Amino acid sequence: MKRFLFFTILSLVSLGAQERGNGIPLEDRARTRAQALDVFNAIRAAEFQAQDLVFSVFSGQTHLVYGISMGEERLLTKASEVLHLKDLYVLNQESRALPARVVGLYADADLAILEVSGLAAAPAQWANAASLDDGAFLMAIRPDGDAQAIGVLSVKERSLKEGDQGFLGIEIDPSELGMGVKVARVQPRSAAAEVGIRAGDIITMVDGEEVKGFYELSTRLRRMREGERPKISLQRANQNFQVTPTLKGRIIEKRDIERSNRIQRMERMSGSQSRVRGEFDGVIQSDMELESFDAGLPVVDLEGRMVGMVIARAGRISTLILPGEDISQLIKTEASPYDPAFRRIGPGRGLRQREAQREVQEIQQAQREQELIRRLIEGFRFHFGR
Amino acid sequence: MRDKFVAFFFFTLGMPLLQALPKIESIDDLKKLEEQVQQVVRENTKVTVSLISPKSGGAGSGVIVSRDGLILTAAHVIEGNEFMTVIFPDGRQERARVLGANYTRDAAMARLLGEGPWPFAEVSDSRSLEVGDFVVAMGHPKGYDPTRRPPVRFGRVMTKRDLDFITTDCTLIGGDSGGPLFDLKGRVVGIHSNIGPDREINNHAGLSGFQSSWEKMLAGKSWGVLGDRHRDPHRPVIGINFRETPAGLLVESVPAQGPAFAAGLRPGDLVTSIAGQDIRSLDGLAEIFADLSIGDEISVTSWRGQKEMTIKVKLVPLSEINRKRRR
C-alpha cells in the first residue's frame, strides 16, 4: 500500500513538471496532491455500496459512459452517449465483457435502459437529494470504489427548461430611473402585446410591490411560470393603470440565439463537455471536476446515500446531477421503446427545434411585411413627397 | 548557493506548519469539514452580490464587508464606471457609488447608496493562508440568474503568488470576477480576479493587498495598471536602478532627471528602507510600489559608507524621466 502511494505521488509530481506552464511550484503541487490522496483514501476506505452497482459501458475499445444497476440484468445510463452505437458491452465485477443493448428510453431526462445478459447486481436504492443543503459534499463513485471526483452541492434542484418559465415579452430600457422601469420594446404576439403594453410605458409595480429597476422586475417575472397572471401597474403620460397579462412560454427570436463568445471560450478551457447538457427539468449543480465520459456515475453523500446520477458535464464550473428522488419516480413509469430510427436525443430537443424553426419563419415573414410597408411609404414619398 | 540555503531554510521552517494543517483521514474528518463549509455558505450567501455596469451591462460580483455598505470587488469589474447596479441574491436591487481602485492588485471598492444596515462578512489578511488551506468561493457566474443562489465552489490554496495573489482550485468563470473567497471561518480572504487554462488555476486578489491600499481606495483614489506593472510606461518611480545584494538593495545608477538624484542619492549607496518599510529584495520593492501612485511622497533610508541618511522623494511617472533624458 505504502509503495503504491509513493509511486502515485512521484508520477503526479513528474506530471506536474510537464505542466510547468501553469506555474504552480513543484513543492506546492506535491503538497496539494498528497492532501488530495488523503481525501481519496478516506473515501475508498469507506467502501460505499455504490461501487457494486456501477458498471462501465463500452463500444469497441472505448469506454463511453457508466451505467447504474436497476436489477434484473438492467442498467440505467445516459442515452445520448450510447444510442446508435454498435456492439455495446458492459464490464462486470470480474472484468468480463457482457453484451448489452438499449431496450428503453426516457428521452426527456436523456436516460436509456440497457439490457445486459448475465449481469448480477442488485437494484440501486435511490435517496432523496432534496434534503441536502448548499455546500454538502458529493462524490462520484467508480466501479473500483474510488471517487472519480469530490465536490460540493453548488446549486439546489432547479429546472433548466426555459419552456417552464413565464415570459411577458418585453425588452427593458437598461437606464436606471431610480424607481420603475421603462419598456423599450414589446415582442409581437407576446403576453405584454395582448394586454396593450407599449414601448415608452413605465412599469412601477408587480402584484402591488414596487419595482426599483430592471433586475428586480426580471427576477420577479422569471420566477413565475407559464400561465401565471401577475398584476402589472403602469404609467403612461402621467396616467396610472393596471393590466393582468397571462405569461406565455418564451418566444425565440433570432438574436437570442447568439451567445457570448467569451464565456464559450472559458468553457472550452475546462475539459470535455457533454453534447446534451441543457434543458433538464430538474437537476442539481456541483463543482465536481469530471469529463463527459463520467456521465452515469452514482453520486453519494458522506452518509453513502445514493442521491443522484451524473447526467452531464456542462462547463468549467458545472457538473449536472439528476436527483435520486426524480430517478426513482421516473423509473416507476414505463420507458418508451427504443426505435433505432429514432433521432431525437436529449430533453425536448426535437420539439424545440421545430418550434424554433417555426418562429424563425414567422420572424422572416414579419420582416418581409415590414420591408414591404417601408417600400410603400418610400414609394409614397417618391411620388407625392413635398 | 544562497538560493539553495534559503530554500532549505524555508523547507525546514515549513515542516511544522505542514503538520499543523488539518489532516483528512476518514469520512468523519470530511463530515466536520462539510459542516464548516455549509456554515460559511449559510452565513455569506446574502453578502455575495452581483455588480452590473449601467453603462455597458457587463456583470461581475462583489462582497459587502461593513454594516454601512462597503463593497469589495475587482478593479476590472468597476473600470470606467461611477456607479454600479447591485443585485442581491434575492433579486433586490440597489445602487453603489464606485470609490477607488488599485488596478495593479485588481482591487476596488464601492459603497451602497441606500440606507443600511447591510448584511456583511468579516475580512481577514491573506498572508497567513497556507498552501493546502481549504477555501470556499462564491459569486454570480455568467451574471445574475434569478433561478439560483450564488453557486458554491470548494477548493484549496494551490500556491501563493506575487502582490498577494492567491491561486486556488475553486473553479471560476466570467461574472465571478470580484466575488469573495472565504476561509473556513467565513472571513473574506480574497477577491476573484482571473483564470488560467487549467481548472486548477483560479486567481484571487488576496485581502492583504486590499488592506495595504485600504485608506487610499476608501478616499476615492484610483491607480496602477491591470496585468504586468512593468509594461506600464507611466508607472510611478523615484528614479533608481537597484541591484539585489546579500547586504540589501544597492543603488546601481540614478538618472540625473529623476527625483532621487535631486534628493542626493548616488550609485554605491545601500538602501535599507523605503516608505517606512525595511527592504532587502526586489520582490519586496514591487510589493511596496504596488500601493504607491504618482505624487505620493515617500522616505528612503540609505547608507553611504558609515553614514546613514533619510531623504524624502515624490513619485513621478517613468515616462517623465525618459522624456527628459531624450531631450
Q: What is the pLDDT of residues A62-81, one digit of tens each?
A: 899 999 999 999 999 999 88
Domain that holds residue B263: 229-326
Q: Are residues B107 and B36 in the same domain?
A: yes
CA distance A258 to chain B (A): 15
Residue B153's SS3 state is strand
| Rounded Cα distance, B71 and B81, in Å | 15
* Residue A212: partners with Cβ closer than 8 Å, 6 or more residues away: A178, A179, B92, B93, B94
Q: What is the pLDDT of residues B170-196, one digit of tens each?
A: 999 989 999 999 999 999 999 999 988
Name the percent of chain A lying above pLDDT 70.
72
B8 occurs within a structural domain = no
Question: Would you place residue B140 in the very low, low, confident or very high pLDDT band (cuts 50, 70, 90)?
Answer: very high
CA distance B146 to chain A (A): 5
Q: How far is CA A187 from the centre of its chain?
A: 27
The mean per-residue pLDDT over the stretch B67-91 comes to: 95
In angstroms, the Cα distances linking A249 to A84, A228, A280, B160 are 32, 11, 16, 48
Q: Are residues B221 and B252 in the same domain?
A: no
Between A22, A45, A135, which is nearest B196 by CB? A22
B234 occurs within a structural domain = yes
| Rounded Cα distance, B190 and B183, in Å | 9
The mean per-residue pLDDT over the stretch B249-265 comes to: 93
Q: What is the pLDDT of residues A123-170, one digit of tens each?
A: 999 999 999 999 999 999 999 999 999 999 999 887 766 556 778 888
Q: Are residues B108 and B177 in the same domain?
A: yes
Alpha helices in chain B (DSSP H): 2-20, 27-44, 75-78, 207-212, 214-218, 259-262, 282-289, 318-326
State the DSSP code for B284. H
Beta-carbon separation of A174 and B21 below 8 A: no
User: Quick one: pLDDT at residue A350?
Assistant: 41
Q: Are residues B200 and B78 in the same domain?
A: yes
User: Quick one: pLDDT at residue A21?
Assistant: 39
Write down the mean pLDDT value for chain B: 89
| Rounded Cα distance, B159 and B198, in Å | 14
Question: Would you place residue A269 in the very low, low, confident or very high pLDDT band (cuts 50, 70, 90)?
Answer: low
List the single best residue of A216, A283, A289 to mutate versus B (max B Cβ within 10 A). Answer: A216
Q: Are residues B116 and B260 in the same domain?
A: no
User: Quick one: pLDDT at residue A215?
Assistant: 82
On the question of pLDDT at A262 being above 90, the answer is: no
CA distance A132 to chain B (A): 10
B18 occurs within a structural domain = no
Give A 59-118 residues with CB within 8 A of chain B.
none
Of the candidates A274, A300, A278, A309, the residue with the CA atom closest to the CA atom of residue A111: A309
CA distance A336 to chain B (A): 31
pTM over the 0.90 mark: no
Q: Are residues B162 and B60 in the same domain?
A: yes
CATH class of A166-249: mainly beta
Q: What is the pLDDT of residues B110-127, one digit of tens each?
A: 999 988 899 999 999 999
User: Quick one: pLDDT at residue A367?
Assistant: 57
CA distance A90 to chain B (A): 31
Q: Are residues B215 and B253 in the same domain?
A: no
Q: Which three cell numbers stand for residue A20?
A: 510547468
List the single best residue of B88, B93, B134, B228 to mutate versus A (max A Cβ within 10 A). Answer: B93
Give the number of A-B residue pairs with CB atoms closer than 8 Å: 174
The least confident of A88-102, A213-227, A254-268, A330-344 is A254-268
Name the percent of chain A lying above pLDDT 90.
41
The mean per-residue pLDDT over the stretch B288-296 comes to: 92
Beta-carbon separation of A133 and B41 below 8 A: yes
Of the candidates A169, A176, A251, the residue with the CA atom closest to the CA atom of residue A213: A176
Q: Is A45's Cβ below 8 Å from some Cβ in B?
A: yes
Question: Would you place residue B307 in the very low, low, confident or very high pLDDT band (cuts 50, 70, 90)?
Answer: very high
Domain termination residue (choose one: B226, B244, B267): B226
Q: Are residues B79 and B180 in the same domain?
A: yes
On the question of pLDDT at A349 being above 70, the answer is: no
For residue A137, the one-letter residue type is: F
Map grid coordinates 481519496 to a residue. A40
Chain B partners of A42 at a C-beta cutoff of 8 Å? 24-27, 29-30
CATH number for the domain spanning B252: value is 2.30.42.10
Q: Are residues B221 and B251 in the same domain?
A: no
Question: Would you place residue A386 in the very low, low, confident or very high pLDDT band (cuts 50, 70, 90)?
Answer: very low
For residue A245, the one-letter residue type is: P
Beta-carbon separation of A154 and B172 below 8 A: no
Say how many domains are in chain B: 2
| Rounded Cα distance, B71 and B48, in Å | 10
For residue B121, the one-letter residue type is: A
Name the percent of chain B lying above pLDDT 70.
92
Beta-carbon separation of B38 and A136 below 8 A: yes
The mean per-residue pLDDT over the stretch B74-78 comes to: 95
CA distance B305 to chain A (A): 39
In angstroms, the Cα distances linking B118 to A271, B14, B17, B114 are 40, 40, 37, 9
B5 occurs within a structural domain = no
Longest dimension (CA), chain B: 72
On the question of pLDDT at A173 being above 90, the answer is: no
State the DSSP code for A243. E
Q: Which three cell numbers stand for residue B28?
A: 468523519
Q: Which three cell numbers stand for residue A52?
A: 457494486
| Rounded Cα distance, B148 and B153, in Å | 14
Q: What is the pLDDT of residues A105-125, one digit of tens each?
A: 898 888 999 999 999 999 999
B288 occurs within a structural domain = yes
Cβ–Cβ < 8 Å for A282, A157:
yes
Q: How far is CA B24 from the centre of its chain?
A: 30
Q: Please give the helix or strand (H or E) that residue B102 lies within, else none.
A: strand B93-102
B13 occurs within a structural domain = no
Give A 242-281 residues with CB within 8 A of chain B.
260, 262-263, 266-267, 269-271
| Rounded Cα distance, A339 and A380, in Å | 59
Domain termination residue (choose one: B190, B208, B226): B226
| Rounded Cα distance, A317 and A16, in Å | 22
Give the start-to-end residue ranges of the domains of chain A.
2-46, 57-116, 166-249, 348-386
List the single best residue of B3, B27, B92, B113 to mutate versus A (max A Cβ within 10 A). Answer: B27
Which option is the CATH number for A57-116: 2.40.10.10, 3.40.50.300, 1.10.10.60, 3.40.50.11540?
A: 2.40.10.10
Chain A residue with the nearest C-alpha to that of B195: A266
Q: What is the pLDDT of residues B232-244, one digit of tens each?
A: 888 999 999 999 9
| Rounded Cα distance, B250 and B241, in Å | 9
The mean per-residue pLDDT over the stretch A37-43 comes to: 91
Ramachandran category for residue B163: left, alpha or beta (phi over 0 → left; psi -120 to 50 → alpha): left
| Rounded Cα distance, A297 and A53, in Å | 10
CATH number for the domain spanning B162: value is 2.40.10.120
Beta-carbon separation of B52 and A317 below 8 A: no
DSSP B223-291: E--SS-GGG-TT-EE-S-EEEEETTEEEEEE--TTSHHHHTT--TT-EEEEETTEE--SHHHHHHHHTT
Q: Are residues B52 and B198 in the same domain?
A: yes
User: Quick one: pLDDT at residue B24?
Assistant: 86
B11 occurs within a structural domain = no
On the question of pLDDT at A382 being above 80, the answer is: no
Chain A partners of B24 at a C-beta cutoff of 8 Å? 35, 38-39, 42
List the single best residue of B31, B147, B184 to mutate versus A (max A Cβ within 10 A). Answer: B147
Domain termination residue (choose one: B226, B247, B271): B226
B4 occurs within a structural domain = no
On the question of pLDDT at A6 being above 90, the answer is: no
